[in-house]
Amino acid sequence: MEESVLVIHPSDNVGIAKREIQAGEPLTGLQGSPIRARANIPASHKVALVEIDENRPVIKYGETIGLAKSKILAGDWVHTHNLKSERG
């Protein structure tokens, strides 16, 4: 089975689903302790690689793309429901 997650930049705290990932499926293609998807992650969407506290930055491309609306757990799907933008 091909690895399921791509991490664009080493300092990112989210990865990209290379294909649709099912809830409960272990994420592959990562270093460190094993993580399971906590929700279905659609292809090309973001998945949290570590725990991100409320109001802490979500980092992709090594840059802050927004802040966590609420606490995000490793393996969570990250999108508009839990990521707020710092600008309009």
Partner 1 sequence: MGFQGTRRPDGKAGVRNHVLVLSSVSCANGVVNAIGRSLPGVKAVTHTEGCGRGLADVALSTRTLIGLGSNPNVAGVLLVGLGCEVIRVSDLAAAIAATGKPVECLVIQEQGGSQSTTRKGIEIARRLLEHADSLKREECGWDELILAVECGGSDAMSGVTANPLVGATADWLCGQGGTVILSETTEMIGTDHILARRAATPEVADKIKSLIRKQEGLADVHLGPFKTIAISPGNMDGGLTNIVEKSIGCIIKGGTSTIQEVVDYAEAPKRKGLIIMDTPGSDIFSVTAMVAAGAQIVLFTTGRGSPVGFPIAPVIKIATNTRLFSSMREDMDFNAGRILEGVGLSTAARELNELLTRVAAGEQTRAEANQQDILSLHTVGPAF
Contacting positions for partner 1 (CB under 8 A): 2-3, 6, 8, 16-19, 42-46, 60-61, 63-66, 78-80, 83, 85-87
- The minimum distance between CB 32 and partner 1, in angstroms, equals 19
**Is residue 13 a contact partner of residue 32, using CB atoms and an 8 Å limit?**
no
31 vs 80 by CB, closer to partner 1: 80
Reference 56, options 65, 46, 47, 43; nearest CA is 65
26 vs 62 by CB, closer to partner 1: 62
51 vs 84 by CB, closer to partner 1: 84
